[in-house]
Amino acid sequence: MSIFDVTVVGSLNMDLVARTPRLPAPGETVLGTAFVTVPGGKGLNQAVAAARQGARTAMIGAVGGDAMGESLLALLEAEAIDAVGVQRLVGSPTGVALIAVSDAGENLIVVVPEANGRVDDAAIARHASTIAGSCVVLAQLECPLVVVAASLAVARGAGAVTILNPAPAPADGLPDAILALCDILVPNEHEAALLTGLDTSTVDGAIAAARVLLRRGVGAVVVTMGERGAVLVDGPTAAGLLVTAFRVTPLDSTAAGDAFCGALAAALATGSALPAALERASAAGALATTVAGATPSLPTLAATEALQRANPTHTGAPAR
């Protein structure tokens, strides 16, 4: 029996969030209407999302030796997330994200890694038993690539399901050696375009990009496309499965992708098949857009299932 359902290897940040009527153009200054400091970071968000979906969850990463780091560790404890693998690096600041959110729910984000950038493969070696004792291991790209590769390799060797959310996508792409360690790759449409050089603004384009990534060694690709839903392709010649988005009134899309990834990992870890897991992930991602902030927006399993029950005919369909 696994020790954990989901282990998340990734970043822990404090989000500095400003609300504004609209996002500024390059070189433009706009006046904000509100400011708040909220725990975040893709790793932390996805760990909290998985835990709120009922998964036994562990976190591996780093915070600085400052008050922000203490706050993030306190949040992990409050969410019943195992934080033995989270280093407290005295002398290093905690990572931060500078976020602008418009009244339309769109966002603009700048991440400064700080302590997240000091996690190394030695940390993965120290906590290999946590990774190996997990059903699903989920990583992103706000920590050094060597850490991502090491964690996925340990997980693959132990038979865990490996999920990579390639965000932020590197401008020079990802090595095939890392892609080959991914059972499931979950880019959004912009990340899929960066990784493949293809136009992913349409469903057909997202499917084409997914097939490129599959040929490079990924087991299955899920391309998230915001209000247009998500596309699953799980074989080089397989038809894409389109999971349409749940209809909600968006307020802030900041952690929608993290809610999607955490819910996907939790559903797979607790026995759901991939199409059913995508339905739950889609519902969780939609709900996250209805609440301001990162961690405050991540929905519980009860709320996610309620949205699914309210949309009983919401099922995936062939993309073509």
Sign of the C-alpha dihedral, residues 12, 17, 22, 28? negative
CA 140 to chain centre: 7
- 258 is a catalytic site residue: yes
CA atoms of 137 and 116, how far apart (whole Å): 18
Instruction: Please identify which of the residues 5, 66, 252, 258 carries the catalytic annotation.
Output: 258
CA atoms of 186 and 72, how far apart (whole Å): 25
**Cβ neighbours for 251, distance < 8 A, ≥ 6 positions apart:** 105, 289, 290, 291, 292
54 and 268 in contact (C-beta within 8 Å)? no
Helix axis angle for 42-52 and 256-269, nearest 10°, is 50
181 and 162 in contact (C-beta within 8 Å)? yes
Rg (C-alpha) for the chain, rounded Å, is 18
SS3 content of the chain, % helix, strand, coil (to 5): 40, 25, 40
CA atoms of 102 and 298, how far apart (whole Å): 19
> Which of 211, 159, 203 has its CA nearest to residue 185?
211
56 and 24 in contact (C-beta within 8 Å)? no
CA atoms of 168 and 175, how far apart (whole Å): 15
Please list the active-site residues.
Answer: 258
